[in-house]
Amino acid sequence: MKKTIAVLKGDGIGPEVVNEALKVLKTIEAVYNHEFSYKEALIGAAAIDATGNPFPEETLKICQASDAILFGAIGHPKYDNDPTAKVRPEQGLLAMRKKLNLFANIRPINTYKALSKSSPLKEELVQNVDFVVFRELTGGIYFGQPRGRTEDGNTAFDTCTYSKEEILRITKLAFEAAYRRGKKVTLVDKANVLSTSRLWREVVKEYAKEHPSIQLDFMFVDNAAMKIIQNPKYFDVVLTENMFGDIITDEASVITGSLGMLPSASVGDKVGLYEPIHGSYPEAAGQNKANPMAAILSAAMLLETAFGLTEESKLIRKAVEEALTIGFVTEDINKNNHYTTSEVGDKIAALLNEFKSEIA
């Protein structure tokens, strides 16, 4: 198979973890006789420093011409700590989502037996947790107009807007995933207060009539936040709007035991973007200590979702789980006995070769 992957390493630890994901992808190329070409482009603070634009036109063109995007992270303290900055790295991410129409963020929440003691929740609560959140990504209060402040600066306002079309297109994806999983969808909203949430309920209920084999239930976002802590195994597929999804996916990520373990995908009309959820973590940048597993698992999602390479994706996940089991991990998982970012990447790549030879 021949495919082109746009590589947006970004800021902070982004370049380090993406390098390890690339190492794994190149190993997959060799093991399975695929051919991937990699096109690097700038985004975030690195792009602002080089061009003044957090999502340059050249980066957009490279993304549009690729079959998938592997993304690291954006964010830098010199912008984070300057409230007067008119151009910010995060604007690049929002622009990319809009221009590539990446309307659905897909975030799987899985726990690993080897990390059960690392979770802030009791072991019995986190064992075998396996659900996925479908978060609408290009609408809602983050993009609604009008927004701003009054002339005297004493009042600020934001607008939350959704259309039936926006809701329906991500609902379809969530239901498709439910068919492959446990056939259950939970819509998370605030329909007792918000008009937009009531529209979400109407659209999702109507769509569900065409899919009677899918169990649909509804949960207010505050109740869902509690349920994720009390009984995370309750969920299978969670469907929600932009801001609620932003909040509950970050909450859910903590129960796994390490932010460095969770991949995500953002998909839309054509090209999909695959990224770890942990952010740029500038305090660790350049120190070769960040956990690359989320970036590597994002590469696995890319292979399966964008290219249909299910076996290759499963092999990567198996290698990651084996590295966890034998304790070949970074310091976020084991402070007393740990390895560097690049050493963990090397080990996972070596395990891929080992597992494939066993299968052969």
Domain boundaries, the chain: 1-107+262-360, 130-254
Give the tens place of pLDDT for each residue, 185-215.
Answer: 999 999 999 999 999 999 999 999 999 999 9
Tracing tokens 């794994």 back to the chain, one arrives at 24
| Average pLDDT of the residues in 248-273 | 91
Q: What is the mean pLDDT of the chain?
A: 95
| Average pLDDT of the residues in 336-355 | 96
Catalytic pick among 26, 190, 227, 318: 190
Radius of gyration (Cα) for the chain, nearest Å? Answer: 20
204, 217 Cβ separation under 8 angstroms: no
Question: At residue 217, does pLDDT exceed 60?
Answer: yes
What the block records as the tokens of 313 is 């994706």
Task: Say whether 130-254 and 1-107+262-360 share the same fold.
Answer: yes
Question: At residue 84, does pLDDT exceed 80?
Answer: no
| Residue 112 annotated among the catalytic residues of the structure | no
- pLDDT band at residue 117 under the 50/70/90 scheme: confident
Catalytic pick among 164, 179, 205, 222: 222
* Percent of the chain scoring above 70 in pLDDT: 99
What SS3 class is residue 165?
A: helix
| Residue 234 annotated among the catalytic residues of the structure | no
What is the domain class of 1-107+262-360 according to CATH? alpha beta
| Residue 346 annotated among the catalytic residues of the structure | no
Q: What is the pTM of this model?
A: 0.91
| Residue 246 annotated among the catalytic residues of the structure | yes
DSSP state letter for 158: -
pLDDT of res. 259: 84
User: Which among 40, 133, 33, 46 has a CA at the least distance from the CA of 87?
Assistant: 46
How far apart (Å, rounded) are the C-alpha atoms in residues 46 and 158?
Answer: 29
354, 280 Cβ separation under 8 angstroms: no
Question: At residue 309, does pLDDT exceed 60?
Answer: yes
pLDDT of res. 82: 79
Tracing tokens 């909203």 back to the chain, one arrives at 189
Encoded amino acid at 222, one letter: D
| Residue 269 annotated among the catalytic residues of the structure | no
Question: At residue 323, does pLDDT exceed 90?
Answer: yes
How far apart (Å, rounded) are the C-alpha atoms in residues 67 and 221?
Answer: 35
Q: What's the burial of 266, exposed, middle or buried (CB within 10 Å: 0-12/13-18/19+)?
A: buried
Catalytic pick among 49, 80, 158, 246: 246
Q: What's the burial of 160, exposed, middle or buried (CB within 10 Å: 0-12/13-18/19+)?
A: middle
109, 232 Cβ separation under 8 angstroms: yes
pLDDT of res. 295: 98
Tracing tokens 């939350």 back to the chain, one arrives at 160
pLDDT of res. 359: 57
Give the tens place of pLDDT for each residue, 149-184.
Answer: 999 999 999 999 999 999 999 999 999 999 999 999
Catalytic pick among 80, 130, 250, 346: 250
Catalytic pick among 3, 32, 39, 142: 142
pLDDT of res. 105: 96
- Domain range 130-254, its CATH number among 3.30.465.10, 3.30.70.330, 1.10.3720.10, 3.40.718.10: 3.40.718.10
pLDDT of res. 79: 86
